[in-house]
Structures are given as structure tokens and as C-alpha cells.
Amino acid sequence: MYKVRLWSVRRSRFMEGLYNTVNPAIIAVLKGITKVFGKKLDKPITAAEAGLKGFLFDCQMCGNCALSKTGMSCPMNCPKTIRNGPCGGVRPNGMCEVKPEMRCVWVAAWDGASRMKDGDAIKSIDFAVDHREKGTSTWLKLAREELAEDAK
Amino acid sequence: MIEEIQDAETLGTNPGDPLPQLPGHVSHGRFERVLRAGHFAVTTEIAPPDSADPDEVLTRASLFDGYVDAINATDGSGAHCHMSSLAVCAILTRAGYSPILQISCRDRNRIAIQGDTLGAAALGVCNALCLSGDDVGAGDHPEAKPVFDFDSVSLTRTLRVLRDESRFLSGRKLDLAPKLFIGSSINPFVPPIANRADQLAKKIEAGAEYIQSQYCFDMDVLKDFMSKAVDMGLTEKAYILIGVGVLPSARTAKWMRANVPGVHIPDNIIKRLEGADKPLREGRNICVEIMQQLKETAGVSGVHVMAYRQEKWVKDVVKRSGVLDGRVPWSPETEELN
């Protein structure tokens, strides 16, 4: 939802804190679930992630989540899906060139990042999205990466 | 090697033949030579024809002879269909010109873009400009599918991988890397203005060696931006060329401001055009004045003259501005004189 999305960016610092506390717990639970159930619960877990992040950020489930590096403003809501924005077409009032009724997601991103502890992460380059991961859960990806790391 | 280089400098080479690559240079191109030699560079933009006629390209390019160091071939600018930038560049290199291949992310994915980049270098293109591109909705085919597999930053990095690591993104090796001088764009005049220098830093980190900006009609904003860029050491890492434009009337200026994404024209410029007896002349005066101020601005390495439908005036404004300091950029004519 657009209004909730703007709210999340305004509270980017709170969201960052929430993410930093809750995320490790989610990953730990998902590691446990993966150990017991394998991939059997992937569908409901992915749906839960899509539901929650969809509500808070209008998440598009690109599978390459960068929210913590983009001021809690999801770059996939940019009509050009720019990952290192903004483009040069932003309107003088900070609204999107393509959708004049929408605040530029990258104006929001730099604004959100300015309030975050690790806001400088926005200055690092986010290379193009891996389109194979569209629709997949970033949480499960992180959990499984950690499991693979643990197994080493 | 040195003799060969001196010969090339004094005698020129056959149009279409690559110049020797100078030590410390990344391309064979004349544009890179001008910038690295410390000259104030002038580039412009060619409007690609809505035609399959190659002569039309050469006719349009000849308007700039002797006054510009490189010619940008736009890639479906404003999301309108025209002759492709790759084809325009190939025609121009055959006549000896130094074109800049504009690559937009709107119409092609990473497979097509990497292939076209190799093709462009094979056709003698020495410069590429990485752009995100205008949205399809801005053009004459709003029903088209926007691609945007890359953005300008990822595109810039990809070209650096092709050139510097001599491989595709997949890792597959190239037999010969494309020797391109790689640039990108910046618009310091629209929000988030406070972060535009940070974004410039990102583009340079991605690998941009030169930058061409959006139209500058507001020197105050530009000076703030440039002083940040100088403080951040960015002007040591990349050549910054600032875009300038020729406005034919107050009406056009207002229309551009309202309808062309990213164009910022302050009210005082519009008032000047409204109050002028000869607005066309005043528009050129404004352009000349801004060019002269840019030449004196720390960190600015050149100007990029965008004069859509005003191309015949490019020579005039460059000449009157004096930014070339009497230098005469290469053209097929100077070639003949040699």
C-alpha cells in the first residue's frame, strides 16, 4: 500500500532496528524449518514474506531484496526498476517522471537512508537483479546460505 | 610506436582507420585524446534520422564540422523510434568522425547490450555513454515492453568488465576486448539535489571515465554541485562535461520545462526570453554566457551542446563562446587540408 510504504520510509531508522532484531530470529527459525521439512514449506513461507513485505514496502518479491541498503524504499516500485537511482527525470517536487502521483522511490530511498544508522550502504553499488530469483523468498535464500556456510 | 603516433597527429589517418592508442589511454579515440590532453572539450548530439538513408546522417554531422570533438548518437531518445545509435555511429566512424554510442537500458537486455558493445567497437566506435533511458510512456510507442534489465550504473560496470577483464558477465572470455572510453550521465538539477554528488560518485565507482550532464540553465545549482564534486575528489577521477542548450523561445522553454523529464529551466531564463526583441538570438546569447561561465568553473572539463532542431546554431554558439581557445577540432575538411 502506497501510504504504508511512505510511512515505512519515514520510519526507516525504526524499521532498520526492527529488521536488525527480527531478521536473525526469522532466519534461525527458517534454518530449523529447512532442516526438518526441507523445501516442503517454501510456498507458505514465501507467501508470508510476500504478505508482510508487500504490506509494509509494496515489495515486488524480486528475490534480490535490498531494502536495508535503499532507505527501506523498495527499488522495484520504480517504473524503470532502477537499482542505483534515481534517474535524471525526477520532477521538481520529487515525484516520479512516469507516475506523477507517486513519490520517486529513489528520492524516498536517499531520504530514508539519511535517517538510518547504516544509511551509507546506499552509496555502494547494487549490481543488476538476477531475474531467476523473481518470486522467491529472500529469507529462505539467506537461511539456506547460512546452512551451507555452517556445513562447511 | 612514438613515430607512428606523431605521424598520426600531424598527418591524420584514413577516415575509418583506428588511430593508434596512446600510452595511458583506454581507447583509440580522438575524444579521449582531447580530454586527457587537458583541452576544454565540446561535444554535441546528432538527431538520428527517421530514414534508412546514410547520407542523411553525414549531412547532419557536417553541421558541426570544426567545432565539436565528439558527436553523441542518441538511442531512441524520448522513447521515440529513430535510426539506431549503433548504425549512426558506424556511418560516422567510416567518415572519420568520433561518435559517442549512447546505450539506453530501456530496449535491450544484457545479452543484446554486450553483443552490441562488441559490434560497436568492431565498427570503430571508441566511446560509449551509459544511460538508464526514458520510459516507454514518454514516446511514440507507449504500448512497448520496457526492458530495464540494467540501470546505468550496472551497465557502466558491465562495459568495464568487457573492456578491462576481456570477458562477458558470464565469465566467457573475449578474444579481443572492446577498447571503449566509457561514460555516463548525471542530472544535478532535480531532486534529490543534496545527493546528486553521491550519485555521481557511484557512477564513477562503477567505472565512468567521463560524465555528460543534463541541460544546465541554472549556474547556482551547478556551482554547488561542482564544488561538492571537487571536494569529493570526483573531478580527479572523471571528466565532467556539462550539458547546455539553445532555447528558441519562451514558449518552447516553458513547454520543455513542463514536458521533457528532468529539464530544469529557472524563471529568470524564461523572463529573459519573454522580454527579448529577438528571442531566438537571446536563446543563443544565454547558451554562450552559460558556456563561458562553465569554462571558468572548477572541475568542468567541457560542454555538451544539445540543440535539438537548432543544430545549425551549434557552430555559432561554440564560436562566440570562445571555449575552444582557437583550437579547431578534427573534421573531414581539416583532414583534406592535411
DSSP letter for each residue of B272-327: HHHH-SSHHHHHHHHHHHHHHHHHTSTTEEEEEEE-TT-GGGHHHHHHHHTTTTT-
**What is the complex's ipTM, to 2 decimals?**
0.95
Please tell me which of the candidates B157, B185, B186 has its beta carbon nearest to residue A125.
Answer: B157
CA distance A65 to A84: 13
Write down the pLDDT at residue B11. Answer: 46
Please tell me which of the candidates A80, A123, A128 has its beta carbon nearest to residue B202.
Answer: A123
List C-alpha distances in Å: B19 to B11, B13, B118, B172: 11, 7, 18, 28
Q: Is B190 on the interface with A (CB under 8 A)?
A: yes
Contacts (Cβ under 8 Å, ≥6 apart) of B14: B96
Q: Answer whether B192 sits within 8 Å of A98, measured CB to CB.
A: no
CA distance B150 to B229: 25
Q: Answer whether A110 sits within 8 Å of B198, measured CB to CB.
A: yes
CA distance B276 to B268: 12
CA distance A44 to A10: 30
Write down the pLDDT at residue B18. Answer: 77
Q: Under CATH, which number does the domain B23-337 receive?
A: 3.20.20.220
B133: which chain A residues are within 8 Å (Cβ-Cβ)? Answer: 80
Please tell me which of the candidates B135, B186, B202 has its beta carbon nearest to residue A84.
Answer: B202
Q: Is A94 on the interface with B (CB under 8 A)?
A: yes
Share of chain A above pLDDT 70, in %: 100
Write down the pLDDT at residue A1. Answer: 84
- DSSP 8-state secondary structure symbol assigned to residue B174: P
Q: Answer whether A80 sits within 8 Å of B133, measured CB to CB.
A: yes
Residues 110-149 of B with CB under 8 A from A: 110, 132-135, 137-138, 146, 148-149
> Which among A125, A126, A129 is the top mutation candidate for probing chain B, defined by the most B β-carbons within 10 Å of its own β-carbon?
A125
pLDDT in tens, B261-270: 999 999 999 9
Q: Answer whether A79 sits within 8 Å of B134, measured CB to CB.
A: no
- Going by C-alpha positions, the residue among A28, A6, A123 that lies closest to residue B199 is A123
Which pLDDT tens digits describe chain A residue by residue (152 residues)?
Answer: 899 999 999 999 999 999 999 999 999 999 999 999 999 999 999 999 999 999 999 999 999 999 999 999 999 999 999 999 999 999 999 999 999 999 999 999 999 999 999 999 999 999 999 999 999 999 999 999 999 999 88
CA distance B285 to B248: 11
- Closest B-chain CA to A131: B149
Q: Answer whether B151 sits within 8 Å of A84, measured CB to CB.
A: yes
Q: Answer whether A84 sits within 8 Å of B152, measured CB to CB.
A: yes
| Residue with grid cell 522513447, as numbered in its chain | B79
Q: Answer whether B191 sits within 8 Å of A97, measured CB to CB.
A: no
- Going by C-alpha positions, the residue among B126, B9, B132, B10 that lies closest to residue B71 is B126
Please tell me which of the candidates A82, A98, A107 has its beta carbon nearest to residue B191.
Answer: A107
CA distance B26 to B34: 13
Q: For chain A, what are the domain ranges? A: 2-151
Task: Quote the minimal CA–CA distance from A122 to chain B in Å.
Answer: 9
Task: Quote the minimal CA–CA distance from A79 to chain B in Å.
Answer: 8
List C-alpha distances in Å: A133 to A62, A78, B145, B301: 6, 18, 20, 42
Q: Answer whether B192 sits within 8 Å of A106, measured CB to CB.
A: yes
Between chain A and chain B, the number of residue pairs with CB atoms below 8 A apart is 99
pLDDT in tens, B175-223: 999 999 999 999 999 999 999 999 999 999 999 999 999 999 999 999 9
State the CB neighbour count (10 A cutoff) for residue A56. 18
Write down the pLDDT at residue B3. Answer: 53
Task: Quote the minimal CA–CA distance from B55 to chain A in Å.
Answer: 33
Task: Quote the minimal CA–CA distance from B106 to chain A in Å.
Answer: 8
Please tell me which of the candidates A83, A97, A128 has its beta carbon nearest to residue B110.
Answer: A128
Specify whether the CB–CB gap between B238 and B211 falls below 8 A: yes
Residues of chain B with pLDDT under 50: 1, 8, 10-11
